[in-house]
Structure 1
Amino acid sequence: MPTADAVREDTQLSHWQERLRRVLGAVRVTTADGTSPGGTVVTARLGHVDVSRVESDAQRVARTARAPRHGEAPDVLLALLRGGTMALVQDEGHVVADQGDLLVWDEARPYSLHCGGPFTALVLRVPRSRLGLSDDSTRSVALSAFASSAGTAGLLGTVVSTLATSPASYAPSVAGRLADSVVDLLSILLLERSRPGDHGAGERAALVRRVREHIDRNLQDPALSPRTVARDHHISVRYLHRVFQPEDTTVGRLIQQRRIEQSARELARHELRTLSVAAVALRWGFANPAHFSRVFRRRYGCTPVEWRRSGSRA
């Protein structure tokens, strides 16, 4: 359920600071006169993403602690500014967002947010591990501002605006898939921003390599599929397919191809001739011998039995 906290101007600054910590991690809030800026924070959980709406007055929010929030891994923060202006400072850089802009930054390193007047922002906490990006790549593309008027940023801004209206109203199964969509769009946006330095191509190649290695390690698992591969890499199936688009195969075909190749190797080994064709097929994830024979014939132009005979003669 969402939680709403309204803070009056006469409330202690520390109280408001504690409200923001639920959204931004271990932060310190300062104002020009030392009093609480007041405002409202509404937070809800959408699958594996925290969604918050923050309305407040002028203030400076600084994150100096490097330790992860509550002992967890640091997240990537995404803010859609619905009103006012916000400046983000991190490392040696800074960006300024106006109404309608998206801000993205990395919680792992100290940062500060400067709000010169009243503002409204929708803030999402996205687990870094689900983005499929390395720490170096995340660092290189975080601290960015995007105009949410067109392209991927526009689509992401629309989704965030829609979900933030009532994130707790979705069923758990639906909420998880919606959260995956947000993560996918954010990943694509960051990869697009990283293209000038070619980090995006490198990240895609690294993920493809990890997926191929994962498939080879788990070929004998009959449950291996694009869905389980995506789950084990903390990405959605849709994003997995997008990553493999430039390749000469799909994830499903790759799994089948590698299984057929391993089966062919075993069928040709003289010391394994006592194993039945069905046993070899089952060993490499084919539960249906007839299906295995059809796929094998398409790949090698002969039946598994004929292949075994030719291998034994060789």
Structure 2
Amino acid sequence: MAPGVQDVKEGSASLSTASLSTAPLSTSDRAEVWHDAVSHTFVPMTVRLLEEEPSPGTIVSHQVGPVRISRIEAGPQVVTRGPRMIAAGGPPSLILSLQERGTSLKEQDGRESLIRPGEFSFTDSSRVFRKKIDEDFTFTSFHFPRAELDVSEKALRGLTATAFSRAEGSAALLATYLTQMAREAKRLDAGVGRRAAATALDLLALLVDDRSGQSRPQESQSAASLERVKDYILRNLRDPDLSPSMIAEANYMSLRFLHKLFQREGVTLGTWIRTQRLERCSRDLLRPMAEELGVAGIARRWGFANSSHFSRTFREAYGVSPRDWQVCGRPTD
């Protein structure tokens, strides 16, 4: 982290806030500190300040779920990200900037666009880009992990370094939502913040699909969401506190949508989780570990907190008690 940057916990919100100002520094020190701050806030980049005596710069950032929101004010500069920095690694990300003051010249994927106040654009950190601003500027940026954005690489590549107006359509929906999200960021608690970030990602995907002319079949989206949820459940199956609200929050979706995903398969969420736990218990009961752990230990191992409840549930599913299953190896006809 650059000198002068402070991490602050925002009370009950438990959201990380970082702030920096180069105003107290001498003009000779500002360039180095600013370069480190920009690279820390976004991704490693080369920053070249265009003033002989650099103007003060400020960055204030808030973490909202997986999204980093930053407000930047500074003087003329050029930032570039070249092949060497990209090759150094790090998870790919998408950086969306709402231009508020000053005009930016952005270059990526063979395009060059002027981004004026009232417009926004985005940049993909996994490919070379350049941004030049010849005047004092202010913008608010949203740093999205690329892995969280469900759009095709082809669609995304066709829209980088493009100026989007906030006046109408899907761009207006996204810009309006992001503006309000940035305004409320420091007051959102952790759970609400994660849901807000999920909505922002959905609106961004909507914009990309809309502008790239792609449609997103509802069934395809639901199938992908269901697989993601199932993977999360299986990774947390041993947790006795695993609950619908916990699953929905971790996967950035509403409880209603979560239950609908399983209803389309003709099963309830609770039944699916119980079946997965019972299958693993039935296997473990036949393994050597069962002698040491016992029936109650096996049940606890897979998230059944109450052994009596487990025994009843097991009998209903397999037709025999866990102990009989352990002795016989399979239910009798």
Q: 1:3 aligns with which of 20, 31, 37?
A: 20
8 Å CA contact retained: 2:31, 2:54: no
Q: Taking structure 1 as reference, are residues 43 and 220 closer, same or farther at Cα in structure 2, changes over 3 Å only?
A: closer
* Mapped partners of 1:187, 1:141: distance in 2: 18
8 Å CA contact retained: 1:59, 1:115: yes
* Mapped partners of 1:280, 1:133: distance in 2: 38
Q: Report whether the alignment pairs 1:38 with 2:55.
A: yes
Q: Report whether the alignment pairs 1:287 with 2:289.
A: no
Q: 1:105 aligns with which of 119, 123, 142?
A: 123
Partner of 1:80: 98
Partner of 2:10: none
Partner of 2:47: 28
Residue 60 of structure 2: SS of its match in structure 1?
Answer: strand
Partner of 1:191: 205
For residues 242-274 of structure 1, what are the alpha-carbon distances to aligned partners after superposition, in whole Å with 9 as ceiling and x for unaligned? 57744425655532342245557889x8x9x99
Q: TM-score, normalised to structure 1's length? A: 0.65
Unaligned 5+ segments in structure 2 are 1-5, 7-18
Q: Report whether the alignment pairs 1:157 with 2:179.
A: yes
Residue 179 of structure 2: SS of its match in structure 1?
Answer: helix
Q: Taking structure 1 as reference, are residues 30 and 138 closer, same or farther at Cα in structure 2, changes over 3 Å only?
A: farther
Q: Report whether the alignment pairs 1:312 with 2:322.
A: no
| Residue 79 of structure 1, CA deviation | 2.0
8 Å CA contact retained: 2:99, 2:138: yes
* Mapped partners of 1:8, 1:284: distance in 2: 57
* Mapped partners of 2:88, 2:61: distance in 1: 17
Q: TM-score, normalised to structure 2's length? A: 0.62
Q: What is the count of residue pairs matched by the alignment?
A: 296
8 Å CA contact retained: 2:151, 2:208: no
* Mapped partners of 1:245, 1:145: distance in 2: 37
8 Å CA contact retained: 1:30, 1:59: yes
8 Å CA contact retained: 2:82, 2:129: yes
Letter in 1 for 2:177: L
| Residue 185 of structure 1, CA deviation | 2.8
Q: 1:238 aligns with which of 252, 256, 260?
A: 252
For residues 85-138 of structure 1, what are the alpha-carbon distances to aligned partners after superposition, in whole Å with 9 as ceiling and x for unaligned? 334321123555443444332222221224354431122334445x26589489
8 Å CA contact retained: 1:293, 1:303: no
| Residue 59 of structure 1, CA deviation | 4.3
* Mapped partners of 1:290, 1:199: distance in 2: 46
Q: Report whether the alignment pairs 1:62 with 2:80.
A: yes
8 Å CA contact retained: 2:238, 2:301: yes
Letter in 1 for 2:93: D
* Mapped partners of 2:116, 2:321: distance in 1: 65
Q: Taking structure 1 as reference, are residues 67 and 81 closer, same or farther at Cα in structure 2, changes over 3 Å only?
A: same
| Residue 277 of structure 1, CA deviation | 6.9
Q: Report whether the alignment pairs 1:209 with 2:227.
A: yes
* Mapped partners of 2:313, 2:164: distance in 1: 48
For residues 260-304 of structure 1, what are the alpha-carbon distances to aligned partners after superposition, in whole Å with 9 as ceiling and x for unaligned? 45557889x8x9x9998766644542222454467668x769786
